[in-house]
Amino acid sequence: MRILLIGAGGVGDAIVKIASERNFFEKMVVTDYDLERAKRAVSWVEKKHGKEVASRFEADQIDASDASVVAAVAKKHGATHVMNAVEPKFVQSIFQGALDADANYMDMAMSLSHPHETDPFNTPGEKLGDWQYDRTAEFEAKGLLALIGTGAEPGISNIFARYAQDHLFSEVDEFTVIDGGNLVVKNDAGEEIFAPSFSIWTVIEECLNPPLIWEKDKGWFTTPPFSEPSFFEFPDGIGMVECVNVEHEEVNMLPRTLKSNRVAFKYGLGEEFIGILKTLHNLGLDKIEPVSVRSKSGRVEVAPRDVVAAVLPDPASLADRMTGKTCAGTLVTGKGKDGQDRAVYLYHVADTTWSAEHYDAQAVVWQTALVPVISLELLSKGVWSGKGVKGPEEFDAKPFLDLLASPSDYNQAWGMQDRNPKNTSKI
């Protein structure tokens, strides 16, 4: 397996660090628009593990916005797999570039959605990932696999859903992916600051678009942002967090393969975070369409959302400023194997103190990076295989979770908590 990794930001950098401890691939070419950032990731491997391990990594420059460039770089390095670790606005060009290079493809965030033009808060327009699913036949025709939505969420959340359907339930009523944490970021003065633990570009996209929900009798529909607020008690000391509906890929993915009556996604944002996002929206700073801005050299075109991203701290730089834990999980309700009502929350928790110590990475980007590395290993061994465009829920979940938890492999415990099926907000 020869992997072309596109993006050496927070998640891409963490992918390199995790993969450096595994030997399932022949080569990983780390690329970024900023070549120095790619080189820093490779240098970390050499400092941590020595020149022999680092020899399996190589840095190169790439323009992810141009499918022909992606294809050329993939061919140059003989890539068998293209791993997309950049913002979702580049999904289409990287996806097409991989296909043109006859390489398999993987991402963690899927092609962008576009709200319904006249009824955005009731009716879906183009959903997250629709553009990719529509190209299934093109990958099948070449015998290639595009494994999409394979991060923490979507990703391990989908895998938990598949495991629950196969091993815990005889009948599923609802899959609700629920993400939350108690992360705190402080400045040099020790003051708590607003600094999203993930790309603000992606956070804005997820949180301000109309949330998507699927129900068996209605199909897909949308609601206003931040709808259906409720409190959920997260495990491992995180505690009670208010969660709201947010647009997310799982709602488009799970109903295609798994059987249930409802699929939703909820995010524990908190009142302050929601307030800031609403303000950005009210000021038009969430827009991706360029506006004309006066500069010393004349007028330039710039997207307001890119300005917001530029003035906030890089999520990759937060490891020594952040404390707390993040939890990715899926709450499943329905009938257990014994036919009785059951509710189970399956989850994985990452602690920033631990991830910073071992990988020099904050918890959110490290947790997101862990899933594609394990998935690539399963593909390399033929445990997972297929062609076309597929999500991780379309594969057997047990090999993934076994590899994840094995002390001799990734040594990451995952949890499973039974909840009161009559009140699933608490343990």
Q: What is the pLDDT of residues 196-223, one digit of tens each?
A: 666 777 778 778 889 999 999 999 999 9
Predicted confidence (pLDDT) at residue 110 exceeds the cutoff of 90:
yes
Span 232-258, average pLDDT: 95
Span 249-257, average pLDDT: 98
Parts of the chain belonging to CATH 3.30.360.10:
156-362+413-419
Residue 319: pLDDT band (50, 70, 90) is low
Span 371-390, average pLDDT: 98
- Residue 426's pLDDT is 42
**276 or 37, which is more confident:** 37
Parts of the chain belonging to CATH 3.40.50.720:
2-107
pTM for the model stands at: 0.91
Span 250-263, average pLDDT: 98
Share of the chain above pLDDT 70, in %: 97
pLDDT tens by residue, 22-39: 999 999 999 999 999 999
Which CATH architecture does the domain made up of 156-362+413-419 adopt?
Answer: 2-Layer Sandwich (3.30)
What sign does the dihedral 329-335-339-340 (CA atoms) show?
A: positive
Residue 322: pLDDT band (50, 70, 90) is confident
- Residue 198's pLDDT is 65
- Residue 208's pLDDT is 83
pLDDT tens by residue, 47-63: 999 999 999 999 999 99
- Residue 189's pLDDT is 77
- Domain 2-107, CATH: 3.40.50.720
- Residue 420's pLDDT is 87
Predicted confidence (pLDDT) at residue 275 exceeds the cutoff of 90:
no
- Residue 28's pLDDT is 98
